[in-house]
Amino acid sequence: MAKIGDEIGVVGALVRSAFLVNAVYAESAREYGITPQQGQLLCVLMAKPYGMGELGATLRLAKSSLTGLVDRSERNGLVRREPDPQDMRAVRVALTTEGARLAEEFYVETCRRVADLAGDLSTEERGALASLLGRIVLDNEVPMVFLEPPESR
């Protein structure tokens, strides 16, 4: 619980809040038997299958790192490579049935945990926080790496 005199600046607040969300994400991933990177991959793929280039750009991963992540996730039965209907030389990465089930469970639980971080804020404060952070995210063109939960819109 914040006390008077505990105020921090915008840089500290953003860095520490990113650390906090990453810690929640990592804890949730660990409980589901996946890495945080696999959790992020699954959440991105919930929206649709992605080509490797588009997926690398979205996750901001180098080609070799992305290939390793997809390989490990494929070995675990969470994703599959499929031909790209627009380019027969390329592949898309899609969730398997098991991957989609795990992604949904992981997503719902992670949303709950992240929402709980703002549990003590009033409705107005939550709206102000969402508006300000939303502007920062949009102004910096952060890719859609996590679907917007319906109740937070």
Please write the tens of the pLDDT for every residue from 35-52: 999 999 999 999 999 999
Q: pTM of the prediction?
A: 0.84
Residues 69-94 have a mean pLDDT of 93
Edge-to-edge strand list for the sheet holding 50-51: 50-51, 87-95, 79-84
Report the C-alpha gap between 107 and 146 in whole angstroms.
8
